[in-house]
A and B are shown apart, each in its own frame.
Chain A
């Protein structure tokens, strides 16, 4: 809409810094969302240390480690794709983002097989095997499914976010000079990685 006078500090201007600040603020809410779950985890682990230990033996450390490496690698590729676009190399940026999405898919596939194996053995809440477990182990598996499930959801969201950005890079609306959306999707992706960095030792590495 045309109007004759426009403020220098208008809210309708493109402001990369505002959008970056907004993204960070949103990440804080995500951190605290998982933070609430970590608090629950900490309390129940403190109350049931042995049950958590025994229950954790059911997880496959190596699959967890592979997934950690996969996510860390994807974090690197998304960070590099930002470097690429800032240097004006959109093509390289797209390739790196495609690698990131591929890593996300690998992560989810591995997660799918992990969950599948657990459910096959009846660890899903409400299943026979689950109901016969001691309370502490039930809590462990409940938290395991809840937290990795919520994290998996974030992986999917991050993936969609990156795919949208890829489309925008292709049509040129994200470019050398204007790339805050890519940076924000990168920030989001790093957060997904960051949370996994804590989930991994808390669930897989109790020994």
Chain B
């Protein structure tokens, strides 16, 4: 291979894990004990889930150290999915 790859250290993986666990407890805590936030909880839960997903993809799945094309592709795929979702929900909201 023309370029050497990056080896992620054990400590970095462990740090990633700690942050993911913290986020998990945060989302559970908000949901179980902050129940009066109503619809906001859905948004917060999804927001935290997305942060977690990003952390997993960036550090565990190595996206951070991969060539840029991988980040571009996943960005396109995810934004397409989000547009699908918006166009679909739009139909239901405007009926």
7 pairs from A and B in contact (CB 8 Å cutoff)? A28-B77, A32-B77, A75-B17, A187-B61, A200-B49, A207-B32, A207-B41
B residues within 8 A CB of A83? 7-10, 13
A residues within 8 A CB of B27? 201, 205
A residues within 8 A CB of B93? 46
Give the number of chain B interface residues (Cβ < 8 Å): 45
Does A194 contact B7, Cβ atoms closer than 8 Å?
no
The SS class assigned to the B binding surface is: helix
> What per-residue 1/0 map shows which CB atoms of B58-84 lie under 8 Å from chain A?
011110000000100110011001001
The residues of B with any CB-CB pair to A shorter than 8 Å are 1, 5, 7-10, 13-14, 16-17, 20-21, 24-25, 27-28, 31-32, 35, 41-42, 45-46, 48-49, 52-53, 56-57, 59-62, 70, 73-74, 77-78, 81, 84-85, 88-89, 92-93
> What per-residue 1/0 map shows which CB atoms of A61-99 lie under 8 Å from chain B?
100010011001101101110110011000000000000
The residues of A with any CB-CB pair to B shorter than 8 Å are 16-17, 24, 28, 31-32, 35, 38-39, 42-43, 46-47, 61, 65, 68-69, 72-73, 75-76, 78-80, 82-83, 86-87, 183, 186-187, 190, 193-194, 197-198, 200-202, 204-207
A residues within 8 A CB of B46? 198, 201
* Shortest Cβ gap from B59 to chain A (Å): 8
B residues within 8 A CB of A69? 21, 24
